[in-house]
Structure 1
């Protein structure tokens, strides 16, 4: 198989400025709803989070979007994880949503800020109980000798929290990515894709078409 021979044309639809809302958050909501309605996969809110560590090494991982509004895009994680360490060093991050069956992408550029304990607690208490226990169990991004050790630690936490509500771990919380730029990408034929970039300038969003 020659990878360079794998290609397809993007012909579903185009994207014109007149189709775009002046507010990128409203436009994001429209595209997200369309992705959810299309039943593309089990995780329509999955997004790639890109961070950069203290040595300048970028890394990416998939996280789930749990909330969005004009203030930004929210996800939750272990606050001692690699992504959290990267953000502590450099809060500038990027989010990437890929809905390839719709031939669409969205890229969010911005800065991540830690959520309040109250916000994190409210979400944590809404999670399934086993997910809460897993948050207490895992020292995210740290090495472990075997799967069995992780499962044993999980069972110990289940026993510890067998009664009553499970409290928010001090090392667990969330981040809000405050956007400064948001790009909407729609595939087109002959690789002449439609790209539009919203840029936040002096508190207002400016919209420009980009060359593909």
Structure 2
């Protein structure tokens, strides 16, 4: 079978399975997202194995996640975040720290993993899916509630922590004499990226969006926003 036709068949299969899974979940009064996940498991490589072009389908799925997370930025307000900053920042840091600590201690005590591996596993387990939570909150019309704002605030702290984890965790494998230098370098790098993101978000992105809006073309504005969204995700 030709690769292009195989990819089209896989996409149709994924969409049909998702529609069926979402429909059944709705009938059972369950979140449709649960139906999507179960449908993906069923037709994916760990299930019936109907999807053959895995790399291409996963690439398309990355776009879906990118756009879903972009809606988080549209829905979420920094003004609202300030109202729950104590819970969001304090709760998020506490949750991540305790999860890493407990996981690392249990892994080392049981002899299952080394301390570095235990820390890595704890870091992974401490993170939640912002996309999944956002979808659930949107479906239940809870986006404007205080508990949703607190929840999203904690999730944003987790998302910010991912960048720090990606910088720091690889440095933990460095030899002990070089560990401090590696950590400082990693934190400095992620700090520069964060600073660039803040500067861009305050001055560059709004100016770009205003320039697009001045053209008074829905198509140009939509293409510009999509390019901005995907470009940031790629970066």
Q: TM-score with structure 2 length normalisation?
A: 0.26
Larger relative contact order (Cα-Cα within 8 Å, sequence gap ≥ 6)? 1
Q: TM-score with structure 1 length normalisation?
A: 0.28
Structure with the higher helix share, 1 or 2: 2
Structure with the higher strand share, 1 or 2: 1
Larger radius of gyration, structure 1 or 2?
2
